[in-house]
Structure 1
Amino acid sequence: MKKKTIISLVLGFAALMLVLTGCGNGNSKTSATSKSDSNTTSGKITAVGSTALQPLVEKAAANFQKSNSKVDITVQGGGSGTGLSQVQDKSVTIGNSDIFAEEKDGIDAKKLVDHKVAVVGMAPVVNKDANVKSLTMDQVKQIFTGKITNWKEVGGKDEKITVVNRAKGSGTRATFEAAVLKGAEAVKSQEQDSNGTVQKIVESTPGAISYLAFSYITDKVQSISIDKVQPTDENVESGKWKIWSYEHMYTNGKAEGATAKFLDYMNSKDVQSSLVKDMGYISIHNMKVQKDSKGTVSDVK
């Protein structure tokens, strides 16, 4: 009797071990499958356009490709106009823009799908030699329309003002002029294609003034407060600071495959809660005001 009992126990133990081993193998298989599933998405994405948005998309793309190695993402500048034109022509996958597609001549916005991924604040910046830190909105307008030509007229140094503008087609320029010039004609001045180039010119040119996305403003130039309101994220979020725009990533029709997955990642917690802020942008989820394609601002409901 004891012998049978011992044999039964041994057989039972062996059976249990087989079950446990089977479960372990199953879990290993599942883990391997899950790991491979995260890397099954493949494709090529080309995102072109806004230089204000470019640094964020480049960094997000690099992070995304670490867990999606079969996806090849190329990010280039060129300006919002270029991004919108090329995505409309289907020569690129994504058109990055600081402006709504409806605001750009020659663009059929009905064919494009808007993916808002961040908000960017923009501010006037001057060469530190000008000795100016604050202006009124009217003074900024008069400077960029050529009516004020010397910094001493606004409390600064006796020094000629050198205006540096962005090139036509720039979303940053369109946003700035809509908020500041309000239809007035800009003074003729040198024009540059990118935020990065503008930053370097203002830094090195005595008397220079231009405007930059917050993400490009460094301690090498002087940002300007307007009507005693400082250019900060908090003031953009509340609507106190008037010069800002959405950062759009447009697709021609509904995004699919790798493109859809990348755009979902751009709106994920990893990007919106950390990367966006770390790189000088504002999360779309933090905005207390919203803006439509006509420039009308209202509270977020």
Structure 2
Amino acid sequence: MKSKWVRNLGLAVMAISLSFGSISAASASSKLSGKIVINGSSALLPLTLQAANEFKKQNPKVKISASAAGSVTGPQAVRKGIADIGACDWDASTDVPGFSKFTGQVANKVAVIPFSAVANSSSGVTDLSTSQLQGIFSGKITNWKEVGGKDQDIVVVNRAFGSGTRVNFQLKALAGTDFMTKGSNYKEVKSSGDMKTAVETTPGAIGYIDLVYVSGSKMKPISINHVEPTAANVINGTYKVWSYGYYMTKGQPTGVVKAFIDYIQSAKFQEGSLKKLKFIPLSAMKGK
């Protein structure tokens, strides 16, 4: 009888200890304060805004401001000291084609970003080969009927230089082929949101964007070589047009900046809100 009472008391003490541990952790979390300024990738902006909203609810003394003008502006802002985090669609601590590394910055992986070619629904095309994409974006193929679509002029919509989405699409969907840069059937936009609007409202338009922005009936994702741009196909290795998304910081992140990055990298956010936004959790691509 005494043994049972002692055992129950022990369980009760353990439960109370765990409860106080949870309260203590929550209390410590709520004491976080400070301001985080984030600049850079518009592809990562939906993730950043969602994470900021959740993090601020848990930590009401933390202020987070985010803007997006293209990936290269992220590490540039960190270097200038006007941003704490530079959101970027490539590892800006290393050299990549067209961009030198940002010395002294640390690349913190936060997500896997699938990208997709997209076309205005009027085109009549939902699948293109690599060579057809190269022909279209270089300006050699100018009518949708040349690739099995309607008799309609193709309007190429491109991201401005400095876009991480542009870097990844050119390298991985076009195998490095140069873009056309001018002409009556060419448009250039500054952000993912602008790309979505341009493709949806321009008959015959084609562009590229990350999957989080693909919605509605006015714009259709384009399969490449008969492989659909889906998270599942990125994970199984059949769809190659994707990249890691990074938060660049000046040195290793500390304080409230580290806490925010840790939250985004947590299993709770990665398996919850991040997946709902059509990004892919980091854990899904281990070893790839």
TM-score, normalised on structure 2?
Answer: 0.87
Contact 1:88 1:107 in 2 (8 A): no
**Structure 1 residues 89-130: Cα deviation after superposition (integer angstroms, max 9, x where no partner):** 221000000112132756543411111011111111111111
After TM superposition, give the deviation of residue 165 of structure 1 in Å: 0.2
Aligned-residue CA RMSD (Å): 2.1
* 2:196 and 2:213 in contact (8 A); partners too: yes
Matched, 1:127 2:120: yes
Length-normalised TM-score, structure 1? 0.83
Percent identity, aligned pairs only?
40
Q: Find runs of 4+ consecutive structure 1 residues off by over 6 angstroms.
A: 26-32
| Bigger Rg over Cα | 1
1:273, distance to aligned residue in structure 2 (A): 0.7
Following TM superposition, by how much is the alpha carbon of 1:35 offset from its aligned partner in structure 2, in angstroms?
A: 4.5
Tell me: CA distance 1:29–1:270, structure 2 relative to 1, closer, same or farther (3 Å). closer
Cα distance in 2 between the residues matched to 1:277 and 1:27: 30
Structure 2 residues without counterparts, runs of 5 or longer: 1-16
User: What is the CA-CA distance between 1:84 and the residue it aligns to?
Assistant: 1.4
Contact 1:81 1:104 in 2 (8 A): no
Which amino acid in structure 2 is aligned with residue 145 of structure 1?
A: S
Tell me by how many angstroms 1:288 deviates. Answer: 5.4
Alignment partner of 1:111 is 2:109: no
Residue 198 of structure 1 aligns to which amino acid in structure 2? M
Does residue 201 of the first structure (1) align with residue 198 of the second (2)? Answer: yes
Structure 1: how far apart are the matches of 2:146 and 2:83? 47
Counterpart of 1:142 (choices 127, 132, 135) is 135
- Is the contact between residue 85 and residue 107 of structure 1 (CA under 8 Å) also seen in structure 2? no
Number of residue pairs the alignment of both structures matches: 266
Paired position in structure 1 for 2:7:
none
Q: What is the match of residue 236 of structure 1?
A: 234
2:155 matches 1:162: yes
The 5 A counterparts of 1:219-298 are 219-220=216-217, 221-287=219-285, 290=288
SS at match of 2:142: coil
List runs of 5+ in structure 1 lacking aligned partners: 1-25, 291-301
Distance 1:68 1:107, change over 3 A: farther
Q: Flag the 1:197–1:36 CA change in 2: closer, same or farther, 3 A.
A: same
> Measured at CA, do residues 34 and 254 of structure 1 come closer, stay the same or move farther in structure 2, by a change above 3 Å?
closer
Question: What is the Cα deviation at residue 222 of structure 1?
Answer: 1.0
Report if aligned partners of 2:130, 2:174 keep a CA contact under 8 Å in 1. Answer: no
